[in-house]
């Protein structure tokens, strides 16, 4: 299994997986909403790498479709990982409208939410 490495950390290690981690971010973090995606962001230690968790509910479709959209969201995060600032835990929740969106639309909405949450570094900060 391949790992995408950002700053010496494998992306697989930078995912939120535990239910209590998801709950903590959703309960205490700030939310940012678009019609395709909900993003919850919680500020953590500045030195820790950004961790991202993905959730796609049953309203989005069958297990096959839900896994497809999780892969799409993970790929968008992987492509833009060098721009993601450390010190945040994020939960990305797909809404049912994601079924009708293209990859480019989903990417635009997710990057817009990350920018609003100030999780993305500006081009000149890289």
Question: Does pLDDT of 25 surpass 50?
Answer: yes
**Domain 27-121 CATH assignment equals 3.30.230.10:** yes
* Cα angle, residue 89 at apex, residues 102 and 108 outer, rounded to 5°: 20
- Percent of the chain surpassing pLDDT 90: 69
pTM of the entire structure? 0.86
Angle at which helices 63-79 and 103-116 pack, to 10 degrees? Answer: 60
Average pLDDT score, the chain:
88
Q: Residue 76: enclosing H or E segment and its boundaries?
A: helix 63-79
- Going from N- to C-terminal start, the domains of the chain cover 27-121
pLDDT band at 1 (very low <50, low <70, confident <90, very high): very low
pLDDT at 7: 54
Calculate mean pLDDT across residues 7-36. Answer: 84
Between CA 101 and CA 107 the distance in angstroms is: 10
pLDDT band at 2 (very low <50, low <70, confident <90, very high): very low
pLDDT at 10: 55
pLDDT band at 122 (very low <50, low <70, confident <90, very high): confident
Between CA 12 and CA 5 the distance in angstroms is: 9
């Amino acid at each position: 299994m391949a790992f995408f490495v950002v700053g010496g950390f494998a992306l697989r290690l930078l995912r939120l997986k535990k239910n209590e981690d998801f709950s903590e971010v959703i309960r205490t973090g700030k939310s940012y909403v678009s019609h395709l995606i909900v993003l919850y962001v919680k500020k953590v230690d500045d030195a820790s790498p950004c961790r991202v968790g993905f959730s796609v509910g049953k309203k989005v479709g069958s297990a096959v479709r839900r896994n497809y959209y999780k892969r799409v969201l993970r790929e968008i995060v992987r492509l833009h990982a060098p721009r993601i600032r450390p010190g945040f835990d994020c939960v990305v929740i797909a809404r049912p409208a994601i079924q009708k969106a293209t990859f480019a639309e989903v990417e635009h909405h997710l990057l817009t939410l990350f920018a609003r949450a100030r999780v993305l570094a500006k081009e000149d900060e890289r």
